[in-house]
Amino acid sequence: MNPDHITLHDKEFKPYLSARELTAAIAEVAGRINQDYAGRQLLFVVVLNGSFMFAADLLKHISLPCEVCFIRVASYQGTSSTGEIQEVLGLTEELQGRHVVLVEDIVDTGHTMRMLLDTLGAQQPASLEVATLFLKPECLLHELPLRYVGLPIPNDFIVGYGLDFDGLGRNYPDVYQAV
∠ Cα 170 165 8 (to 5°): 90
144, 130 Cβ separation under 8 angstroms: yes
108 flagged as catalytic: yes
112, 146, 151, 25 alpha-carbon torsion, rounded to 10°:
-120
- Residue 165 per-residue DSSP state: B
- Residue 39 per-residue DSSP state: T
Rounded-to-5 percentages of helix, strand, coil across the chain: 25, 40, 35
Q: Establish whether the linkage from the previous residue to 49 is cis, with ω within 30° of 0.
A: yes
Gap between the Cα atoms of 72 and 4, Å rounded = 32
Q: Which among 4, 108, 166, 174 is annotated as catalytic?
A: 108
Hey, which residues does 86 pair with through a beta bridge?
A: 74
Catalytic residue numbers read: 108
